[in-house]
Chain A
Amino acid sequence: MNPANYLILAALLFTIGTVGVLVRRNAIVVFMSIELMLNAVNLTLVTFSRIQGTLDGQIMAFFVMVVAAAEVVIGLAIILSIFRTRRSASVDDVNLLKY
């Protein structure tokens, strides 16, 4: 097997994540799709790290993981505070960004 087949898999996962962000209305599922996209990018970074023979790609993937964790924490706090006022977790309900 060609080791770069992981790149194709990562591309597919990234595309699925993109479609999920565009299609779904539940804000939490949208967040999960973003996580899927970040994971696909991480898989790409790890694969390039192996192809190149250096560990820099793995370091970058590690940083992406940390950023993703911070992003999830902030995003879920935002979803919860929206849910408190609007009683809804749908992204369509907050299209006014007000009230």
Chain B
Amino acid sequence: MTTGTVLLSAAGPITSTSTGEAVTFWILAPVAVLAALGMILVRSAVHSALLLVANLFCVAVFYLLQQAPFLGFVQIIVYAGAIMVLFLFVLMLVGVDSSDSLVETIRGQRLGAIIFGLGFAGLLVFPIGSAIDGGRAVGLDKANAGGNVQAIGRLLFSDYVFVFEAISALLVVAAIGTMVLGHREREGGRISQREWMRRRFTEGGQVTPLPGPGVFARHDSADTLGLLPGGGHASGIGGVPATGPDGPTGDGPAAGGGSEPDDPRPAAGPEDTAASSGPDGPQGPAGQDRPDGGSGGGDGGTPVSPAPRSGGDIGGDDAHGGDRAGADDGSALAGAGKGEER
């Protein structure tokens, strides 16, 4: 007899769930599991965060179903609201492109982790499944008689008051620790805006951020740069070639002053190097045998394909579209090689 059986039999048989709760559970439980699985399977960290939000909402509904309305709303407000916003803030600060590398530091670690996960799930689920057979729950109708929030508050400030004090001390320590960790001593004086601008222009390279996907260079300006025959971005006004055939990947982080969001995947995985070696000549081999262009790729002008960002579907389509148009014009595009890996 497992401990679960002891716990459940000690509770004594009183209630079973209502039909509405069962329906809600069987609808939302697969959603929660699929969202959790998707969170660890998708490549983009932003998509992971959004799937985690879906999972948190499902769990919040489960709290509401289980007579814990206070926790349910705290879950929505604190978790799905505050903590996930914090996650997304840090994601945007770190850069959306920070992707997983496929190199295994420990050999066979992923396979081992999956096997471990399956075994762990079996160890957890099957004993619980056999233990809860026929078990019933007491239910919280009596404990929640005066209202859930009032009952929790009464417990929190009577039985658990010292834990409450310790938790408040923990929060203060966490806040101070974050400030200590985030603090950075400034070396030298404060850099003025004039100095920033001078540094930006003397270093050369792309002055403005790269244009978003779908922006075409109808004229040669600093913010929408035409592409060179080799596929690289022309540098600055006047079309002086500053970047090699690899496009802006070559001097991206050095030129733009650090964390520009369009920087295409600074950590090059194995497939990344394979893909970026595509557009060698003016018309890379990948560019020619791709008849399916994107939408509206060739309407006049030299189409800029800033799609080397690994942004997903839009970026990929735009890379292909610009690629076909570029082949017509006799200038291949840098984005084709990067769009290849998607």
Interface of A toward B, CB cutoff 8 Å: 1-9, 11-20, 22-26, 28-29, 31-33, 35-36, 39, 42-43, 46-56, 58-59, 61-63, 65-74, 76-81, 83-84, 87-90, 92, 95
Closest to A53 in B: B138
Q: Given A11-B121, A13-B55, do A32 and B39 touch, yes or no (CB 8 Å)?
A: yes
User: How many A-B contacts if CB must be within 8 Å?
Assistant: 257
Residue B178 at the A interface, CB < 8 A? yes
Q: How far is the CB of B204 from chain A (nearest CB, A)?
A: 21
Partner among B15, B62, B140 whose Cβ is within 8 Å of the Cβ of A6 = B62
Q: Given A3-B137, A47-B66, A63-B163, do A9 and B142 touch, yes or no (CB 8 Å)?
A: no
User: Measured between alpha carbons, how far is A76 from B181 in the docked complex, in Å?
Assistant: 10
Q: A28 near B68 (CB under 8 angstroms)? A: no
Describe A's contact surface by its main secondary structure.
Answer: helix
| Contacting residues, chain B, for A20 (C-beta < 8 A) | 39-40
Closest to A36 in B: B36
In addition to A46-B63, A51-B11, 14 A-B residue pairs with Cβ atoms within 8 Å of each other are A3-B17, A7-B128, A12-B125, A17-B40, A35-B79, A42-B59, A43-B62, A49-B66, A51-B7, A51-B137, A51-B138, A62-B152, A62-B156, A66-B171
Interface positions, chain B 37-81, Cβ under 8 Å from A, are 37, 39-40, 45, 48-49, 52, 55-56, 59, 62-63, 66-68, 70-71, 74-75, 78-79
Q: A70 near B105 (CB under 8 angstroms)? A: no
Interface of B toward A, CB cutoff 8 Å: 4, 7-8, 11, 15-17, 21-22, 25-26, 29, 32-33, 36-37, 39-40, 45, 48-49, 52, 55-56, 59, 62-63, 66-68, 70-71, 74-75, 78-79, 82-83, 86-87, 90-91, 93-95, 98-101, 103, 105, 109-110, 113-114, 116-117, 120-121, 124-125, 128-129, 132, 134-140, 142-144, 148, 151-152, 155-156, 160, 163, 167, 170-171, 173-175, 177-178, 181-182, 184, 253, 266-267
In the A-B complex, the 9 residue pairs with the closest CB atoms: A53-B138, A20-B40, A22-B113, A4-B132, A70-B174, A1-B22, A19-B117, A11-B124, A77-B181
Partner among A3, A42, A46, A48 whose Cβ is within 8 Å of the Cβ of B136 = A3
Q: Given A23-B114, A90-B100, A92-B103, do A58 and B178 touch, yes or no (CB 8 Å)?
A: no
Q: A1 near B16 (CB under 8 angstroms)? A: yes
Q: How far is the CB of A59 from chain B (nearest CB, A)?
A: 5
Q: How far is the CB of B137 from chain A (nearest CB, A)?
A: 4
| Contacting residues, chain B, for A65 (C-beta < 8 A) | 71, 74-75, 78-79
User: Measured between alpha carbons, how far is A46 from B79 in the docked complex, in Å?
Assistant: 16
| Contacting residues, chain B, for A3 (C-beta < 8 A) | 15-17, 66, 136-137
Partner among B125, B177, B266 whose Cβ is within 8 Å of the Cβ of A87 = B266
Describe B's contact surface by its main secondary structure.
Answer: helix
| Contacting residues, chain B, for A54 (C-beta < 8 A) | 143
| Contacting residues, chain A, for B62 (C-beta < 8 A) | 6, 9, 43, 46
Closest to B98 in A: A89
26 contacts between A and B (CB under 8 A): A4-B132, A12-B36, A16-B40, A19-B116, A22-B109, A24-B100, A25-B101, A28-B90, A35-B52, A35-B79, A49-B140, A51-B8, A51-B137, A53-B11, A55-B143, A55-B148, A58-B71, A59-B155, A61-B68, A62-B74, A65-B78, A73-B178, A74-B181, A88-B267, A89-B98, A95-B105
